[in-house]
Amino acid sequence: MSSTKHVAVIGGGILGVSTAVHLLRGGASVTLLTEQGLASEATGRSLSWLNSAGERSTPYHQLRLAGVDRYRTLFAADPTREWLQFGGGLMWNAAGQREVTEARHAYEQSIGYDSKLLAPEEIASVTPGIDASAVPENAIFNPGEGWVSLPDLVNFLMEEFHALGGQLVLNAGKVQVTLDGGRASGVETASGETYSADVVLVACGAATPAVVKPLGVEIPNGSPVSMLVVTKPVEHQVKAVMNTPRAAVRPNPGNTFALDHDWYEDRITEHADGSFSIPDEVVQELADESSKLIAGNPELKPASWKIGYKPIPGDGEPVFGELGQVPGCFVAFTHSGATLGLIAGELLSGEILTGKKHPMLATFRPGRFS
Ligand SMILES: Cc1cc2nc3c(=O)[nH]c(=O)nc-3n(C[C@H](O)[C@H](O)[C@H](O)COP(=O)(O)OP(=O)(O)OC[C@H]3O[C@@H](n4cnc5c(N)ncnc54)[C@H](O)[C@@H]3O)c2cc1C
């Protein structure tokens, strides 16, 4: 049965693409449909820091660790890929928060998460290219963390998708799930084309709650608006992802940087046509804040910036699995979809192909909202 299953996947972000490729590996036939191009939403504008830093529920932590593990396997197969690197993560808090940073470090140590608490002058001994004078008190270095450029990962996975015979439908508009006797029977594109399927996966990022709503399924949506800036190329030695009070910075292919933060969210305007804008000076301010973190303080020039919703379920926890009310319809909707991208595709495809529920997804079922 599993080798002949036909699955329609809605959404060309990392979760849809990863699950589609894992399904093809498992012998399914797959049609992947997406509204515009691949990686057109969050996946195309993600900081994509691979981590399980800080404090969260144990099942979520375990899933994230498995997520990082799958990236490590991919990295080990070819460590020269410019779009997937493990240079660690460096974080610090604002002045006056020394004890908060110490408590975070103590917690990370207590669960065996590799964590080093450092004075500013110790940073150069663990990671290069940082301006330690930007660190007011202390910092945490997490050596096991990394980063990925998701658009590159999507391109990489899509080579396998095509090699395994997947069918790709771009510019499908807003695709809907079709039903037959209460069960998912396939999908319908905005122009009315229909594709029948044994199983449908809704992996529509921040739009996931809107796509399942007509099926009578409520999934609370907590997705904020966010922005990712990519700089012009600049000489630098930075290897770590930096999370700091005024800027998050990661290396990006081509000697560029990817920058984001949340302090400017209220400066973003959403227009009636669904587009977003932000004053240019806010973009430059983020670049200037980021420059202060890098040794030599190189001038950072924004090359592009993308704004849109960052997918976050209402309760902050991932939503993975089959809808209780709509057999045959699965969802994948999560924060930290970069870290979870490979593992979520692996576990969900296993559930779809075998019908067996994976224990690591047990606390993340969509049924918790009904
Ligand atoms: C600024 C920013 C920083 C981030 N930082 C990190 C980080 O450091 N670490 C981390 O792990 N994660 C991070 N994330 C989160 C991560 O990038 C996302 O969770 C992940 O990219 C989501 O992938 P997705 O496939 O679920 O959704 P998306 O990439 O949003 O893809 C959904 C796709 O579905 C399509 N679609 C939507 N509705 C329909 C429809 N009705 N019909 C057809 N197609 C439809 C969209 O066009 C889109 O292509 C960050 C995200 C942002 C935006």
Report the CATH number at residue 247. 3.30.9.10
Looking at the domain assignment, is residue 70 inside a domain?
A: no
112 and 167 together in one domain: no
Any ligand 1 atom below 6 A from CB of 185: no
pLDDT interval class at 1 (50, 70, 90):
very low
Looking at the domain assignment, is residue 52 inside a domain?
A: no
Looking at the domain assignment, is residue 130 inside a domain?
A: yes
Instruction: Report the nearest atom of ligand 1 relative to the CA of 190.
Output: 42
136 and 233 together in one domain: yes
What's the domain count of the chain?
2
pLDDT interval class at 3 (50, 70, 90):
low
Assess contact for 37 and 363: CB atoms under 8 A.
no
Instruction: State the amino acid at position 274 in one-letter form.
Output: G
> What is the Cα 184 distance to its own chain's centre?
27
Any ligand 1 atom below 6 A from CB of 46: yes
303 and 249 together in one domain: yes
138 and 255 together in one domain: yes
Last residue of a domain, one of 289, 309, 329: 309
Q: Give residue-wise pLDDT tens across range 171-211.
A: 999 999 999 999 999 999 999 999 999 999 999 999 999 99
Question: Ligand 1 centroid to 15 CA: how many Å?
Answer: 8
158 and 304 together in one domain: no
Looking at the domain assignment, is residue 51 inside a domain?
A: no
Pocket test for ligand 1, best of 310, 317, 348 (most atoms within 8 A of CB): 310
How many whole angstroms separate alpha carbon 247 and alpha carbon 241? 11
Mean pLDDT of the chain: 97
227 and 300 together in one domain: yes
**Among the residues of 78-204, which ranges form H helices?**
98-110, 150-163
Instruction: Report the nearest atom of ligand 1 relative to the CA of 332.
Output: 26
Looking at the domain assignment, is residue 75 inside a domain?
A: no
Q: Residue 15: in which H helix or E strand, if any?
A: helix 14-25
User: Which residue is closest in CA terms to ligand 1's atom 31?
Assistant: 13
pLDDT of residue 295: 98
163 and 301 together in one domain: no
Span 9-31, mean pLDDT? 98
Q: What secondary structure does DSSP assign to 341-366, as a single string?
A: HHHHHHHHHHHHHH-PPPGGGGGG-G
Looking at the domain assignment, is residue 178 inside a domain?
A: yes
Around Cβ 254, how many Cβ atoms within 10 Å? Answer: 13
Both tokens of 69, joined, read 């593990």
Domain that holds residue 29: 2-44+150-219+315-369
User: Which residue is closest in CA terms to ligand 1's atom 18?
Assistant: 337
Pocket test for ligand 1, best of 32, 41, 187, 191 (most atoms within 8 A of CB): 41
Span 257-285, mean pLDDT? 97
Any ligand 1 atom below 6 A from CB of 244: no
Question: Ligand 1 centroid to 325 CA: how many Å?
Answer: 25
Across 212-243, b (16+ Cβ under 10 Å) vs e yields beebebebebebebbbbbbbeebebebbbbbb
Span 265-273, mean pLDDT? 96
Looking at the domain assignment, is residue 49 inside a domain?
A: no
Question: Ligand 1 centroid to 354 CA: how many Å?
Answer: 26
Query: Residue 34 pLDDT more than 60?
Result: yes
138 and 229 together in one domain: yes
Looking at the domain assignment, is residue 59 inside a domain?
A: no
120 and 233 together in one domain: yes
Which of 322, 68, 97 is CA-nearest to residue 200? 322
140 and 229 together in one domain: yes
Output the pTM of the full model: 0.98
Instruction: Report the nearest atom of ligand 1 relative to the CA of 241.
Output: 8
Any ligand 1 atom below 6 A from CB of 339: yes
Query: Residue 65 pLDDT more than 70?
Result: yes
Query: Residue 239 pLDDT more than 60?
Result: yes
Q: Give residue-wise pLDDT tens across range 207-229.
A: 999 999 999 999 999 999 999 99
Q: How many residues does the chain have?
A: 370
Span 67-80, mean pLDDT? 98
Both tokens of 188, joined, read 């319908």
236 and 300 together in one domain: yes
Any ligand 1 atom below 6 A from CB of 84: no
Any ligand 1 atom below 6 A from CB of 145: no
**DSSP 3-state of 30:** strand
Q: Give residue-wise pLDDT tens across range 322-348.
A: 999 999 999 999 999 999 999 999 999
Last residue of a domain, one of 309, 329, 360: 309
pLDDT of residue 56: 96
pLDDT interval class at 2 (50, 70, 90):
very low
- Could you say which DSSP state residue 137 is in? S
Question: Ligand 1 centroid to 205 CA: how many Å?
Answer: 5
156 and 305 together in one domain: no
Any ligand 1 atom below 6 A from CB of 16: yes
Span 292-303, mean pLDDT? 98
Query: Residue 296 pLDDT more than 70?
Result: yes
